[in-house]
Amino acid sequence: MRRLRAATFAAVLVVALGLASSAGAALIGIYRNPMESKGQLGQIAKLSGERCGRGSGGHALKVVVGKQTRECSYRTPVVGRDLEIAATERLLGATPMAVQRSAFLAVDLRSGEGSHYQLAVYPLQRKVQLRKVLTDGTIRYLDIEKNVAGVGGADRANDLRLRAFNITSGEERGNCQLLGFVGGELVVEATDEGAGELKGRASGFSVGSAKVAKGAQATFDNVVVRVPSPF
């Protein structure tokens, strides 16, 4: 995949319509960020979180959650409705033990105004959740799997991939098909009839906890965004 300059993606708008949304759909990569330089790190912007520290963590973006903060979310320059995002994420062992158990890593799509689709993994619980977060903070759990072998523990890589494509034909037209992959394996999936509730279009990733996640540390690397082909 060709590496493109940061300026190319200063304002990327993707509109993907009339496309197949199955697990085997053909995809085109339109953005890749290996987090290897200051310029690449600078392409990533904070989306939400009260107190979130960030920096370079050895060819990765390192995020540290501050006090009174439950989640720190960041976005890529790519916005659009029908997208797939993938990232390699690690919950660092420097995270306090009291926080590690409840901490999650995630990739997010259709983010905006506090709402989004989210694929979340809990490294120490080996649990995977596919969820829909609404603007008022309500969480709808669309699918949950436990004891997932592909989920790594502290300091181990978690390769996450979330796809959200609207269905464009048939009785389910307008619904959103969601597929969540861990380590290349399809783990969770759902069809959301209320796709219109999410107005955001940002793509990104996060680290957090259901409780205050103060001290949680994570790195994010190898971020790739894809669209259906043809688009």
CATH number of residue 49's parent domain: 2.60.120.560
Q: Binning pLDDT at 50, 70 and 90, where does residue 2 land? A: very low
Instruction: Confirm whether 208 is domain-assigned.
Output: yes
In degrees and rounded to multiples of 5, residue 62 shows phi and psi of -100, 135
Determine the pLDDT at residue 41: 96
Determine the pLDDT at residue 157: 97
pLDDT tens column, 19-63: 344 455 689 999 999 999 999 999 999 999 999 999 998 899 999
Of 163, 77, 79, the residue nearest 117 (C-alpha)? 163
pLDDT tens column, 119-135: 999 999 999 999 999 99
Q: Looking up tokens 């158990």, which residue turns up?
A: 101
Please report the DSSP string for 65-117 in residue order: E-TT-SEEEEEEEEEESSEEEEEEEEE-TTS-HHHHTTEEEEEEEEEETTEEE
Instruction: Confirm whether 67 is domain-assigned.
Output: yes
- 185 lies in which domain range? 24-228
Strand 61-65 relative to strand 103-112: parallel, antiparallel, unpaired?
unpaired
Instruction: Confirm whether 3 is domain-assigned.
Output: no
Instruction: Confirm whether 84 is domain-assigned.
Output: yes
How far apart are alpha carbons 152 and 158 in whole angstroms? 6
Q: What is the DSSP letter of 58?
A: S
Partnered with residue 103 across adjacent β-strands are 209
Report the number of distinct structural domains present in the chain: 1
Q: Is 195 helix (H, G, I), strand (E, B) or coil?
A: helix
Instruction: Confirm whether 15 is domain-assigned.
Output: no
Instruction: Confirm whether 9 is domain-assigned.
Output: no
Q: Which two tokens stand for residue 26?
A: 């053909």
* pLDDT more than 90, % of the chain: 84
Instruction: Confirm whether 18 is domain-assigned.
Output: no
Q: Binning pLDDT at 50, 70 and 90, where does residue 13 land? A: very low
Instruction: Confirm whether 197 is domain-assigned.
Output: yes
- End-to-end, the C-alpha distance of the chain in Å comes to 17
Q: Which two tokens stand for residue 76?
A: 């890529």
Can you tell me the mean pLDDT for 92-116? 97
Cβ neighbours of residue 84 under 8 Å, at least 6 residues apart? 27, 161, 162, 163, 164, 165, 225, 226, 227
Determine the pLDDT at residue 229: 85
Look up the pTM and report it: 0.89
